[in-house]
Structures are given as structure tokens and as C-alpha cells.
Homo-oligomer: A and B are copies of this chain.
């Protein structure tokens, strides 16, 4: 029983999607932990900061871009700060807010980890697919994010940046 009430094709696609959702994060974590001493989530946090203006982002914005809850991000940032990879400071304009900044050591960590990570992404995801499938995957995930992430937070579905400040 269980996952019945789905058509055969639906069921097969569904089972494979959750298999991917289970195995892909584990594979990314394994490579990054082994080669760079970072979780994939930690790496992703550092990477998002590295691409931000002044390598700085507000906690809530960073949480959105990394698909994380604020408590989770807060705990991770504390650990990263203890390791000297990021810094936090009170936001001058709104003293409730916290600015997260990538420290020099954090930048170095991302630069060191990136090649191996990108290679892993290619090997696990991009290489097994045709370029048409990569495009299909993008469209499909975009559709899924419409319900998973109604506000289009992290993947700002309206790519060309909204009228809104950092």
C-alpha cells in the first residue's frame, strides 16, 4: 500500500526523486567534509557570502539564499565564526539586524574547496545528463519551487533582482 494512489509512472518518478534528495546531499557532504572539512551547507553559506557585495549579507537574507531556517543558520554561523571563517556585526541602519561577513580565512577556504566541489557537481549531476536534460531539470525544479518556496526567496524566480536593497 502506502505510496499507491499514484499512477505507475508517477510512483516511479516520485521514488527516484526522493532517492536523489536523500543521496545527493550525502554525497556532497562526504566529498566536502573529506577534502575541505566543511559541510555542504557550510560551504554553501560561505559561497553565498563570497558572491555578495562586500562579501556581506544580513542573516535573514542569507537564510533565504541558503534555504535555511534562521535558527539553523545562526548555529552554523556561530561555529563558522569560532573557526574564524566569518564575522558578525550589528547592522548600523537597523540595530535588530546582524550583518554576516566572509572573513579572509573564509574566502581562502571557499577558494580552496571550490574546484573539488565543482568537479563533484559535474561528476554527479551535470555529466550524466544531456544539456537538454539539464535545461529540463532547471525548468522542473523551478516549477517545484513555486510551491516549495512560494516567495521565491532563495532562487529569486524573478532573477533580475527586485527593487529592494541588500
Contact = CB atoms under 8 A, between A and B. Distances in A.
User: 7 nearest interchain CB pairs?
Assistant: A2-B47, A13-B138, A16-B141, A22-B67, A23-B148, A128-B143, A21-B21
Interface stretch (A80-88, A93-101, A119-127): A119-127
Contact of A9 (B24, B25, B138): B138
A161 interface: no
A21 B25 contact: yes
Q: A interface, how many residues as a size bin?
A: 35 or more
Contact of A141 (B17, B27, B68, B124): B17
Contacts of A50: 1-2
Copies of this chain assembled into the complex: 2
A129 interface: yes
A35 interface: no
A13 B134 contact: yes
Contact of A110 (B1, B10, B24, B25): B1
A107 to B, nearest CB: 9
Residue in A48, A51, A128 whose Cβ sees the most chain B Cβ within 10 Å: A128
Contacts of A2: 46-48, 50-51, 110, 114
Contact of A135 (B9, B27, B127): B9
A19 B138 CA distance: 11
